Amino acid sequence: MGPRNSILVAGIVVVLALTFASEMSTVNAARFIVGDDKHWTFGYNYTDWAQKNAPFHVNDTLVFMYDPPSNLTHPHSVYLMNNLKSYLSCNLNKSRMVGNVIQGAGSGFEFTLKKRKPHYFACGERNGFHCTVGQMKFVITPRRPCRG
């Protein structure tokens, strides 16, 4: 086998190894319905929910399910808060909406944890009222991807 073939084989081995490692890190990822059977709703303690379901890992997926707006329901949304201070005060000014009022309908929408950093989630409806009074907020700091 010549030098060119050796380099080609080595390159293929590296690509296969990286593909396998990538697949392994997502194969064991978990899927969590936020709030379990209560879903994403006013008055439920999501901090307790997060503590009961911990630990979370990079590549885990959070599923936010909530009713679409109607005459019988209050709308909900999901914001990723900018930092701890914004999270604690439910200040939405520099936060990013990751789920609008209709995205939680049906099977909900999914948010995959991609980084090992604190993720501060909150409902932004009624200018943060659901966050401050309704306990619709929680923080998760995922660990390294789960290995099987």
Angular region, 20: left φ>0, alpha ψ -120 to 50, beta rest: alpha
By C-alpha distance, which of 110, 41, 115, 123 is closest to 80? 123
In the predicted model, is pLDDT for residue 130 greater than 80? yes
Take residue 24 and report the two structure tokens written for it. Answer: 């392994």
pLDDT digits (tens, 9 = 90+) for 74-111: 899 999 999 999 999 999 999 999 999 999 999 999 99
CATH architecture for residues 30-140: Sandwich (2.60)
By C-alpha distance, which of 35, 72, 76 is closest to 52? 35
Q: pTM score, two decimals?
A: 0.80
Res 6: pLDDT: 53
Alpha helices in 28-113, H assignment, sequence order = 46-53, 84-89
